[in-house]
Amino acid sequence: MTPTRFFFRRLVPLTSAVLLLGGAGAPPQPAQGPPTAAEARTFVAQVNDDIKKLTVKASTAEWIKNTYITDDTERMAAAANEEMLGYNSAAIHAAARFSKLNLDPDTARMLRLLRVSSPLAAPGDAARRLELTTIGARLEGMYGKAKACLQRKAANGKCLDIEELNVLFAKSRDFDELADAWTAWHQSARPMRPLYRRYVDLANEGAKEIDFANMGDLWRSAYDMPPEAFEKDTDRLWEQVRPLYEELHCYVRAQLRSTYGNDKVPAHGPIPAHLLGNLWAQEWANVYPLVMPYKGQPSLDVSEALAAQKYDSKRMVQVGERFFTSLGLDPLPSTFWERSLFVKPRDREVVCHASAWDVTMDNDLRIKMCIKPTEEDLTTIHHELGHNYYFHYYYKLPALYQQGANDGFHEAIGDALTLSITPQYLKNLGLLKTIPTDEKGLINVQMKDALEKVAFLPFGKVIDQWRWAVFSGRITPAHYNEAWWQMRRKYQGINAPVARDEQDFDPGAKYHIPANVPYTRYFLARLLQFQFHRALCQAAGHKGPLHQCSVYGNKEAGARLRAMLAMGASKPWPEALAALTGQREVDASALLEYFAPLRTWLKEKNRGQTCGW
């Protein structure tokens, strides 16, 4: 239900504002003689101040670039990014002076967070740093301006932007039309390929300068454990959920085969990627009408009701805000309503990809989103507001602590609360007329949820699995596309609908690749949200099956959540997790508990089928 999403992590670059306002200068210079703990504390305090100044400029500039896409704003964003990255790189090098000291926990943690603070490590050489940021701005701009120009005669050469494509994939059941649109969109990513290759080289160069083997090691090191241990942990979590995913895949493939025919959907192989209701086959909720377990049950889609009741963008956001305030959390500041972008402007290009911001690191909360009156967008709003509320409760901390305990936490907050948007809640809003009351209704609800949350899991793992291998050199540029589809077949059990080759750059058709946004956070978030939900339900005193719980209106659950949000990144994430859940490792058992009724049903329904691919 919520396709492509990310929050704006604030320890990253900017645009024109930096050129107008000037820079924060160089990091503190080392004192004479051997380093001391007192010098380290002074260094960290200065870096926190500098990073906040630079990040405010960065956020301002990025906001301008995202809401006014032009060659000028892209160029200015590149220059601004170069300044921020240049400061970060110099500060990380300077911080190495203190690496062997016995420091107090706060100073030691902030120095560690500084080292992994940016998803992009820049070379020390200014010219190469500017080249890197210029390529980065260009890649993101290419994605934002991309169109899919259809080739079928019936389309009359029509070109669709990403918003129009999302509508087409949600609604069309025409095999050839979907294949044409899928191919046209992926065609638009081809020019990114040589740029991305150079981008990887320059980013790896920057990572090596700060003592990481490559960019993938830098990303994985942000999780308070060695990179190799973190990768193994994601494998552990995938193995926990893989059997449920394979049961879901088996059932959905059989239903799609009955819709499109045996010649279009194989009985035992991967599913064609364009048939799953989503441009990237990452979430499958849009094919729910084709795979609904029990026909004739009350409709669970509230999109028609939203449109019929004339919900506009502001009213939809107000529904999301009420969910958070019902838990005893604060209302959004008035500036949120004045400064956010809710509707796609008619007079300019913008990045419609939903994102959440605190532009000035001072409770300047915003979302940027081209909202439509759909259930998908209503859910996405809750997700983005989860980021905003995290920002709100930690914005008074030092800059290096103003981030989630890990980035998966940031993604999971809003999603955890969407699990409380039960059919009964939607009925209370007047968006559902009737709600399911028997086992058939329950299986329908769980199927609809699983098509979003369970179907996403292997995709959430593949994006960075591919990039980690690219950054490390295990996947060479000559095999970018081949390796991409090998991984998607292995984990997701899907295939490209048309032949692909190394002229293509299909990873670039997914926003997070050209925008350099790490993606494992989404995989973790799909698991953490259930872990959070179970803990909040326990705090609320819920008795009964987990899937029946809603914490809407419960102040005890809100107090537990607020305490964790306020920690930011001040403690390692296992401590933040324990504060909310009592557990110190990510655990998929809550997701399996939530979907236990569906899994039992799927096993019975798939009896006699040959599952797997």
Model confidence over 576-602: pLDDT tens digits?
999 999 999 999 999 999 999 999 999
CB 360 within 8 A of CB 14: no
Q: What angle do CA 145, 148, 151 make, to 5 degrees?
A: 150
Q: Which two tokens stand for residue 422?
A: 């039960």
The rounded distance, in Å, linking the Cα atoms of 148 and 165 is: 8
Model confidence over 23-70: pLDDT tens digits?
456 777 777 789 999 999 999 999 999 999 888 888 888 898 988 888
pLDDT averaged over every residue in the chain: 91
CB 199 within 8 A of CB 136: yes
Alpha helices, DSSP H, located in 210-346: 215-220, 227-260, 288-291, 303-308, 313-325, 334-339
Average of per-residue pLDDT across 100-119: 93
Helices 227-260, 439-453: crossing angle, 10 deg rounding: 120
Model confidence over 388-415: pLDDT tens digits?
999 999 999 999 999 999 999 998 998 8
Q: CA gyration radius for the chain?
A: 24
355 bridge partner residues: 368
Q: Indicate if the pLDDT at residue 436 is higher than 50.
A: yes
Among 390, 388, 391, 350, which residue's Cα sits nearest to residue 371? 350
State the pLDDT at residue 20. Answer: 25
Model confidence over 146-189: pLDDT tens digits?
999 998 877 677 999 998 999 999 999 999 999 999 999 999 99
State the pLDDT at residue 18. Answer: 24
CB 237 within 8 A of CB 588: yes
CB 486 within 8 A of CB 307: no
Q: Indicate if the pLDDT at residue 12 is higher than 60.
A: no
The rounded distance, in Å, linking the Cα atoms of 233 and 313 is: 39
CB 343 within 8 A of CB 372: no
Model confidence over 442-495: pLDDT tens digits?
999 899 999 999 999 999 999 999 999 999 999 999 999 999 999 999 999 999
Confidence of residue 11 (pLDDT cuts 50, 70, 90): very low
State the pLDDT at residue 25. Answer: 62
State the pLDDT at residue 14. Answer: 27
The answer for residues whose C-beta is within 8 angstroms of residue 396's C-beta and 6 or more apart is none
Among 112, 131, 18, which residue's Cα sits nearest to residue 64? 18
Q: Give the 3-state secondary structure of residue 535.
A: helix
Q: Indicate if the pLDDT at residue 273 is higher than 50.
A: yes
State the pLDDT at residue 24. Answer: 53
495 bridge partner residues: 272
Q: Indicate if the pLDDT at residue 298 is higher than 80.
A: no
**Residues involved in catalysis:** 353-354, 383-384, 387, 411, 512, 522
Stronger pLDDT, 72 or 572, i.e. the higher one? 572
Which residue is listed with tokens 């872990």?
531
State the pLDDT at residue 29. Answer: 78
Confidence of residue 349 (pLDDT cuts 50, 70, 90): confident
Pairing mode of beta strands 355-358, 148-149: unpaired
Average of per-residue pLDDT across 525-535: 97
